[in-house]
């Protein structure tokens, strides 16, 4: 075998292992896309819940009160569902109910401290309430969670940068 073939084989195996590790890592991370759509990366059990599906549909339709009602039901039957708490935080934040939003994001993060969606969204809530320091703390958390980058980090980074530009 030539040196070039050995190096190519090594790089191919390395890339495959890296991809497999990233897939396994993101499958267990409990965080979703984090974009403006409120996607929190539902789990298999929550995706089978009629209330979870109704809540997600309400989020997508920007029907915040309906989303809150549906995800409240989910959290009552699934008290360890970080995704449901994240969505509750998101819907409350959209209604500018920041105390409720922070309480729900913090519950999601207590269940899963590496929940990418909750870290992004609580950071955005901190920016909306003028707390740049806490937003940057969650940006740092996402930076450590998202070793190869992720949409949640990108979105919060953009929001922090925009916030700083407006303060200048």
pLDDT value at position 89?
98
How confident is the chain (168 residues) per 10-residue block, as mean pLDDT? Answer: 60 49 38 40 54 97 98 96 98 98 98 98 98 98 94 97 94
- C-beta atoms surrounding 52 within 10 Å: 24
- C-beta atoms surrounding 107 within 10 Å: 20
pLDDT value at position 4?
66
- The fold for domain 29-167 equals 1.25.40
Q: Are 129 and 98 in contact (CB under 8 A)?
A: yes
CA pair distance 143, 76, nearest whole angstrom? 32
pLDDT value at position 147?
87
pLDDT value at position 42?
38
Q: How buried is 146 (Cβ within 10 angstroms: 0-12 exposed, 13-18 middle, 19+ buried)?
A: buried
The pTM of the full predicted model, rounded to 2 decimals, is 0.73
pLDDT value at position 17?
55
């Amino acid at each position: 075998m030539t040196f070039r073939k050995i190096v190519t084989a090594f790089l191919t195996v390395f890339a495959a292992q890296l991809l497999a590790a990233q897939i396994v890592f993101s499958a267990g991370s409990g965080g979703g896309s984090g974009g403006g759509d409120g996607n929190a990366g539902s789990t298999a059990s929550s995706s089978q819940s009629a209330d979870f599906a109704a809540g997600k549909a309400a989020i997508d339709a920007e029907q915040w009160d309906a989303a809150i009602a549906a995800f409240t039901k989910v959290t009552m039957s699934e008290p360890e569902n970080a995704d449901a708490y994240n969505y509750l935080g998101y819907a409350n934040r959209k209604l500018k109910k920041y105390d409720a939003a922070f309480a729900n994001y913090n519950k999601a993060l207590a269940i899963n401290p590496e929940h990418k969606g909750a870290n992004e969204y609580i950071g955005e809530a901190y920016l909306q309430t003028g707390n740049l320091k806490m937003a940057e703390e969650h940006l740092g958390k996402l930076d450590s969670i998202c070793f190869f980058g992720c949409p949640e980090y990108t979105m919060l980074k953009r929001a922090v940068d925009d916030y700083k530009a407006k303060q200048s």
